[in-house]
Amino acid sequence: MINNAAPALDKPAVEPTITHHRDKVMMLTATLARMAVGLGTFILLARFLGPAQYGRIATAIAYSVFVGLATDFGLATYAFREASAEPADAGKIVGTAVGIKAVLTIIAVLVGAPFVFSLMPIKYALILVLAFIGTQAGSFADLAIVVARVNIRFDLEAKLVVAISAAWLVMVGTVAAVTRDLLAAATAYCFSRLLYVPISWWVMRRWFKPGAFMPPIAAMRAMFVKARSYAADNILTVLSGQIDVLLFGLLLNAHDMGIYQGGARLVQAIVPFAVVLSTVYLRVLSNAAHNKLHSVFQENANRLTLEFSLLAVGAGLSFAVVGPLATQILYGAQYVTLKPLWAAFGLFAMLRFASAGYGIQLVALGRIKIRVISQIVSIGLFVGATAIVLPRFGLIAAPWLLAFSALPSFLLLSFAVRSAKRSGRYVSISIAAVLAVALLISILC
């Protein structure tokens, strides 16, 4: 039961100077709930729909995420950073972001719908539409939750996410198991996420004044202009995590895509764990950078670097070692060809985890340009390598190409943080440790 009656929540009494373990535990709870549902949902879909049907729905979800990038526009990150610097205006800032996203979503639907239904068979077009509605609904709800993070109510987010995630898993898993039908599973996916919107907005209503989601046009225009660099960063960040599906979907058959997605979806469900958990630090880091509290920034940056280095190494080794052992238990005998692919998935997860820790420090410092450059370099090299390698080697090369796509961003972001005057003292050790373990996995696996 979510307690919605707590006193004095509009503004924290004291601005935090360090990220508390309780906040991390609450964010960890919410993140683990999201991660567990992402893993559980895709495992159930893969097992009950089979590689071919699973490949189609997983690809549809990936494409819908890509289409939705224009509507996200980096608003969650921008709103969080701005509201963290000015907590008293959090409701107004987040409400303005929601208003912009609503306008962008309407434009995207009007432009995209004719292309979808004219270029795809009606059945698969419907799958894509349902996936798009579901992913958009989830992103609207997540945007509203930003206001709770700004007000240091990670516990409220944890309760909400755990409750709604349980409903998602039961709904989608039951439909997939009973019907084993692609369209039915996509419908359940869409409907389960639509429920998230009214529930999340109702829980967060204390921070939103009447009319918060209908901001003045001038305020929306001003935020739209200021958020453009964050939009570029967000689009490239998500694209770098989804471009493998966009490209491989054109070059691999549905069965091989289903096998590939069996590993890739587990990775993609876990990697956001690092991104979301890093937002616990973003509020304190942004506030410290804004108010020139250099010692506060460095103390939190040191802890962030150490924690995320450990997470990165743990994720990489877990995928490389446990993945082959758990494949048939999770998916069944029809996914046996997935076993030799896990080492590469582990490398990708490790590099993305570490990059998230470096990247959040750059966001707090307002250094978005280097993040954008790193994503452009990564995507460009990945596209070129895929065009050359995948047609020749097929499925076995796919996860190694994915791992390669994460390397340029890791190198550029880590050295950008290392060169920043306010960076922590553990960055060099972190870089060396991650690269050493990456080499070890590559040699042994």
pLDDT at 6: 39
Task: Please give the single-letter amino acid code of residue 395.
Answer: L
CA distance 147 to 144: 6
Residues 199 and 250 in one domain: no
Q: In this structure, which amino acid lies at residue 207? A: W
- Classify residue 345: in a domain, yes or no: yes
The answer on pLDDT for 167 being more than 80 is yes
The Cα 220–Cα 196 span in angstroms is 24
What span, in angstroms and rounded, lies between the C-alpha atoms of 78 and 315?
28
pLDDT at 424 over 60: no
Q: What pLDDT does 174 receive?
A: 92
Q: Residue 6 falls within a domain, yes or no?
A: no
In a domain, 9, yes or no: no
**Torsional sign, CA 211, 213, 217, 219:** positive
Same domain, 143 and 237: no
Is residue 235 a contact partner of residue 74, using CB atoms and an 8 Å limit?
Answer: yes
On the question of pLDDT at 27 being above 70, the answer is no
What angle, 0 to 180 degrees and rounded to 10, lies between the N-to-C axes of helices 368-393 and 342-364? 170
**DSSP summary character for residue 204:** T
Q: What is the mean pLDDT of residues 138-159?
A: 82
Q: Is residue 206 in a domain?
A: yes
Q: Is 3 part of a structural domain of the chain?
A: no
Amino acid symbol at 340: P
pLDDT computed for residue 272 by the predictor? 62
217 and 278 share one domain: no
Distance CA 190, CA 172 (A): 9
- 3-state helix/strand/coil string of 344-399: HHHHHHHHHHHHHHHHHHHHHCCCHHHHHHHHHHHHHHHHHHHHHHHHHHHHHHHH
With H, G, I as helix, E, B as strand and everything else as coil, classify residue 392: helix
Residue 423 has pLDDT above 80, yes or no: no
260 shares its domain with 392: yes
Per residue, the 3-state secondary structure of 313-342, as one string, reads: HHHHHHHHHHHHHHHHHHHCHHHHHHHHHH
What does the block give as tokens for 311? 């997470």
**Contact between residue 412 and residue 355 where contact means Cβ atoms under 8 Å apart:** no
Same domain, yes or no: 56 and 175: yes
394: left (phi over 0), alpha (psi -120 to 50) or beta: left
Q: Which of 226, 254, 276 is the last residue of a domain?
A: 226
d(CA 143, CA 145): 5
Is the CB of residue 224 less than 8 Å from the CB of residue 100? yes
Residue 40 structural domain: 17-226
pLDDT-derived band of residue 28, with 50, 70 and 90 as boundaries?
Answer: low
59-74 residue pLDDT tens: 788 778 777 777 888 8
d(CA 375, CA 381): 10
Phi-psi category of residue 332: left, alpha or beta, with phi > 0 → left and psi -120 to 50 → alpha = left
List of long-range contacts for 178-183, beta carbons under 8 Å, 24+ apart: 180/48, 180/49, 180/50, 182/49, 182/53, 182/56, 182/57, 182/123, 182/127, 183/123, 183/126, 183/127
Same domain, 218 and 247: no
Mean pLDDT for the stretch of residues 254-280: 75
Are residues 266 and 373 located together in one domain of the fold? yes
Residue 298 shares a structural domain with residue 335: yes
Q: Which two tokens stand for residue 103?
A: 């306008």
16-25, 60-69, 249-258, 310-319: least confident range: 16-25
> Domain end: 226, 250, 272, which one?
226
Say if residue 183 is in the same domain as residue 236: no
Is residue 9 scored above 50 in pLDDT?
no
Share of residues in the chain with pLDDT > 90 (%): 11
Question: Which of 176, 191, 226 is a domain's end point?
Answer: 226
Cα-Cα-Cα-Cα dihedral sign, residues 395, 396, 402, 405 = negative
- Give how many domains the chain has, as a whole number: 2
Residues 197 and 284 occupy one common structural domain: no
Percentage helix, strand, coil for the chain under 3-state DSSP, each rounded to 5: 85, 0, 15
- Whether residue 172 lies inside any domain: the answer is yes
Across the chain, mean pLDDT equals: 81
210 and 306 in a single domain? The answer is no
Instruction: Look up residue 338 and give its amino acid.
Output: L
User: Which ranges of 86-150 would DSSP assign to H, the alpha helix?
Assistant: 90-119, 122-150
User: Are 45 and 174 within one domain?
Assistant: yes
What confidence tier does 445 reach under pLDDT thresholds 50, 70, 90? low
Which two structure tokens, joined as six digits, stand for 19?
């990220």
Would you state the structure tokens that stand for residue 409, as one six-digit string?
A: 């961003």
Contacts of 347 (CB under 8 A, 6+ apart): 316, 320, 403, 406, 438, 441, 442
Domain assignment present for 148? yes
- Of these ranges, 8-12, 42-46, 159-163, 406-410, the one predicted with the greatest mean pLDDT is 406-410
> In which residue are the tokens 């950078």 written?
289
* 182 part of a folded domain: yes
pLDDT greater at residue 395 or residue 35: 395
CB-based contacts of 396: which residues, under 8 Å, 6+ apart? Answer: 340, 341
180: phi > 0 → left, psi -120 to 50 → alpha, else beta; which? left
Q: What are phi and psi of 270, to 5 degrees?
A: -90, -35
